[in-house]
């Protein structure tokens, strides 16, 4: 557990295999103004993790930001049956076995809105993700919108592949296949990027890879140069 700033913590999970690469996993926990916990992209739940989280507050909201971040939700729902589960329409369709409280695609006065802002980043038939901004710590929280792997867990050929698709630190960005899928939706994507850049962010936290603790806006602009 790492305390990133006041009322926001990061938890590192086990790696999962995806597209031939070991993907590190990371969960972001925000303690809202009322004391409830908002959890982005829950990782594999263990007794130790449960104890650490419960010391921070009451688990209230579980967030599945895109259709890939759902693997560990059943365990969390089993342990915290009163928690509210939110996801994009794609993950709701994919996990029909789970009961979602609501869709992140909807316009809504979100219960966490005074602490966290959000933007649904669309423009691709393959990539749709809800991105969040914790106002108190000025932290942008993403899942796969940006990936920035250190490469330490990769072998030589995996590092070659990661660099080729653009997800190797310090030059991480959206993976190449997803970037290409925005070919006909760049105008839509630019509008979302403008919203993200309008937030006065200091930090960038992603689910996969090295976080950016300084000059995060410059990093974000560079990682989205492909949209120009």
- Which tens digit of pLDDT belongs to each residue from 150-207? 878 888 888 888 899 899 999 999 999 999 999 899 999 999 999 999 999 999 999 9
Residues 74-103: tens digit of each pLDDT: 999 999 999 999 999 999 999 999 999 999
Q: What is the pLDDT of residue 158?
A: 84
Tally of structural domains, the chain: 1
pLDDT digits (tens, 9 = 90+) for 21-42: 777 889 999 999 999 999 999 9
- In-domain check, residue 112: no
Whether residue 220 is contained in a domain is answered as yes
- Classify residue 117: in a domain, yes or no: no
The answer to whether residue 65 is domain-embedded is yes
Q: Is residue 88 part of a domain?
A: yes
Evaluate if residue 211 carries a pLDDT over 90: yes
User: Is the Cα dihedral 208, 125, 29, 146 positive or negative?
Assistant: positive
- Residue 193: how many CA atoms within 13 Å on its side-chain side? 23
The residues facing 38 across adjacent strands are 30, 61
pLDDT band of 19, cuts 50, 70, 90: low
pLDDT of residue 181: 94
Q: Which residues contact 197 (CB under 8 A, 6 or more apart)?
A: 217, 220, 221
Look at residue 141 in the predicted model and tell me its pLDDT. 98
Structural domain that includes position 89:
2-105+122-227
**For 96-153, how does the pLDDT look when each residue is reduced to its tens digit (9 = 90+)?**
999 999 999 998 899 999 999 999 999 999 889 999 999 999 999 999 999 998 878 8
HEC string for the chain:
CEEEECCEEEEEEEEEEECCEEEEEEEEEEECCCCEEEEECCCCCCHHHHHHHHHHCEEEEEEECCCCCCCCHHHHHHHCCCCEEEECHHHHHHCCCCCCCEECCCCCCCCCCCCEEEEEECCCCCCCEEEEEECCCCEEEECCCCEEECCCCCCHHHHHHHHHHCCECCCCECCHHHHHCCCCCHHHHHHHHHHHHHCCCCEEEECCECCECCCHHHHHHHHCHHHC
> What does the pLDDT average to over 59-77?
95
Q: pLDDT band for position 20 (50/70/90)?
A: low
* Average pLDDT score, the chain: 93
Residue 81 resides in a domain: yes
Does residue 18 register a pLDDT over 80?
no
Tokens 């925005």, residue located: 182
In a domain, 203, yes or no: yes
Q: For residue 156, what pLDDT is reported?
A: 85
d(CA 190, CA 227): 7
pLDDT of residue 150: 86
Computed over its alpha carbons, how large is the radius of gyration of the chain? 17
The confidence score (pLDDT) of residue 122 equals 94
Rounded CA-CA distance 228/224 in Å is: 8
We report the CATH number of the domain holding residue 184 as: 3.60.15.10
Q: Are 112 and 127 in contact (CB under 8 A)?
A: no
Residue 110 lies in a domain: no
| Residue 6: pLDDT band with limits 50, 70, 90 | very high
């Amino acid at each position: 557990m790492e305390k990133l700033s006041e009322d926001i913590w990061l938890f590192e999970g086990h790696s999962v295999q995806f597209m031939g690469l070991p993907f590190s996993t990371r969960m972001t926990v925000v303690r809202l103004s009322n004391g409830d916990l908002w959890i982005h992209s829950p990782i594999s739940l263990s007794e130790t993790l449960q104890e650490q989280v419960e010391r921070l507050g009451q688990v209230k909201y579980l967030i599945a930001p895109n259709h890939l971040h759902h693997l560990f939700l059943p365990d969390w729902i089993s342990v915290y049956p009163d928690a509210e589960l939110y996801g994009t329409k794609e993950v709701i369709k994919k996990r029909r076995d789970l009961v979602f409280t609501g869709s992140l695609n909807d316009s809504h006065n979100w219960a966490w809105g005074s602490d966290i802002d959000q933007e649904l980043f669309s423009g691709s038939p393959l990539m749709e993700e809800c991105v969040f901004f914790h106002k108190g710590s000025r932290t942008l929280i993403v899942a796969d919108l940006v990936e920035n792997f250190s490469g330490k867990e990769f072998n030589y050929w995996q590092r070659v592949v990661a660099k080729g698709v653009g997800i190797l630190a310090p030059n991480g960005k959206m993976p190449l296949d997803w970037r290409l899928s925005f070919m006909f939706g760049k105008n839509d994507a630019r509008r979302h990027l403008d919203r993200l850049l309008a937030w006065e962010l200091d930090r960038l936290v992603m689910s996969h890879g090295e976080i950016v603790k300084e000059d995060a806006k410059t990093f974000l602009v560079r990682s989205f140069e492909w949209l120009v």
